[in-house]
Amino acid sequence: MILPPNDLESFQNIGQLDVNLNSDSICYLVWGVQASALTIAEMKDKLRTLNTEVEQLQGEVLYKVKVLNKMHVDYALSVKARTGLRDEITKCASMVKDKKV
């Protein structure tokens, strides 16, 4: 039984409100409280599980970022080495050309 606000003001205390509620309403109220408590517990459990998964994924991301950074450094070094070799080949080719002429 839901009372309009002006009827709620007419009750002196919560005891009078309980007397006016029938047993079915009380049962539904208790069931609702128990169901919401169960739902809260389930949600807390799901949040713990999700937090664990997030931490695990963050660890994987950090590992992959480190690997990617290493690959980036290795690539930059290989480009530098390739450029150096290309310069040496160009010098050698020009020396050979000068000797032939």
pLDDT in tens, 51-100: 999 999 999 999 999 999 999 999 999 999 999 999 999 999 999 988 87
3-state secondary structure of 38: helix
pLDDT at 7 over 80: no
Domain of 67? Answer: 5-100
Predicted TM-score (pTM) of the model is 0.51
Q: To the nearest whole percent, how much of the chain has pLDDT over 90? A: 52
CA dihedral 33, 36, 41, 47 (to 10 degrees): -160
